[in-house]
């Protein structure tokens, strides 16, 4: 069964507030409400980082939220996309330079899409998520290229055509484990 096709169409969201004023958080909540119903596109808001593809961050990064933000990012499986919602998450906004604030999310984790606005409008947030989907698709392709087992041509050449496929796979697996041990 080819699950790949369906997974691209149901991206799940993880939402984390790193010190915003609740304005952008309420707009994300409004995105789930019937007027801008993003659930009809299969975009669900999940609290679990291990199930999510897109990380929505709102607010300037405060010093205490920093560790949680990095940890949540690390817990998400690859491929993943980060969307910074609101000016505070993009650059720090009005909170820029305050003593407990670190001016924007991109100082700590790589950000793929920036959504401006104070507070960011639901239309803009949905637009940002849709942009993020394209990037997610691209990242997935890159990931597939790097995961491909290299050296299969060499393997086939060494073992020759007369050996059956099972033996080739077994030899490949053995080599793979050997390389892992290094």
Q: φ and ψ at 85, to 5 degrees?
A: -105, 125
Q: Work out whether 7 is an interface residue with other proteins (CB under 8 A).
A: no
Q: Work out whether 105 is an interface residue with other proteins (CB under 8 A).
A: no
Q: Work out whether 26 is an interface residue with other proteins (CB under 8 A).
A: yes
Q: Work out whether 16 is an interface residue with other proteins (CB under 8 A).
A: yes
CB of 111 to other proteins, least distance (A): 19
DSSP string over the chain: ---HHHHTT--EEEEEESS--SHHHHHHHHHHSSTT-GGGGT-EE-S-GGG-SEEEEES--BTTHHHHHHHHHHHSPSS-EEEEESHHHHH-GGGTT-TTB-S-GGGTS---EEE--TTPPHHHHHHHHHHHHHHHHHHHHHHHHHHSPTTHHHHHHHH-TTS-HHHHHHHHHHHHHHHHH-
Q: Work out whether 121 is an interface residue with other proteins (CB under 8 A).
A: yes
Cis peptide preceding 79, ω within 30 of 0: yes
CB of 22 to other proteins, least distance (A): 4
CB of 34 to other proteins, least distance (A): 4
Query: Whole-angstrom distance between the N-terminal and C-terminal Cα of the chain?
Result: 35
Interface with other proteins by CB under 8 A: which range of 56-64, 77-85, 105-113, 158-166?
Answer: 56-64
Q: Work out whether 118 is an interface residue with other proteins (CB under 8 A).
A: yes
Interface with other proteins by CB under 8 A: which range of 2-10, 19-27, 152-160, 171-179?
Answer: 19-27
Binder among 11, 13, 19, 76 for other proteins (CB under 8 A): 19
Q: In this structure, is the dihedral angle defined by the CA atoms of residues 92, 39, 74 and 146, taken in order, positive or negative?
A: negative
Q: Work out whether 100 is an interface residue with other proteins (CB under 8 A).
A: yes
Task: Name which of residues 142 to 181 contact other proteins (CB under 8 A).
Answer: none
Q: Work out whether 97 is an interface residue with other proteins (CB under 8 A).
A: yes
Binding site for other proteins (CB under 8 A): 15-30, 32-35, 46-47, 59-60, 62, 64-65, 68, 72, 93-95, 97-101, 118-119, 121
């Amino acid at each position: 069964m080819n699950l790949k096709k369906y997974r691209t169409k149901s991206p799940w969201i993880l939402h984390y507030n790193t010190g915003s004023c609740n304005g952008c958080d309420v707009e994300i909540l409004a995105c789930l409400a019937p007027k801008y119903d993003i659930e009809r596109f299969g975009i669900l808001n999940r609290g679990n980082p291990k199930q999510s593809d897109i990380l929505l961050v709102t607010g300037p990064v405060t010093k205490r939220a920093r560790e949680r933000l990095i940890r949540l990012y690390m817990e998400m499986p690859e491929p993943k996309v980060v969307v910074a919602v609101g000016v505070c998450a993009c650059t720090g906004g009005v909170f820029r330079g305050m003593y407990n604030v670190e001016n924007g999310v991109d100082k700590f984790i790589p950000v793929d899409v920036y959504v401006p606005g104070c507070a960011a409008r639901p239309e803009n947030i949905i637009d940002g998520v849709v942009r993020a989907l394209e990037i997610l698709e691209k990242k997935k392709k890159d990931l597939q290229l790097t995961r491909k087992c290299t050296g299969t041509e060499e393997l086939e050449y060494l073992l020759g055509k007369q050996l059956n496929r099972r033996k080739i796979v077994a030899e490949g697996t053995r080599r793979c484990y050997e390389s892992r041990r290094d």
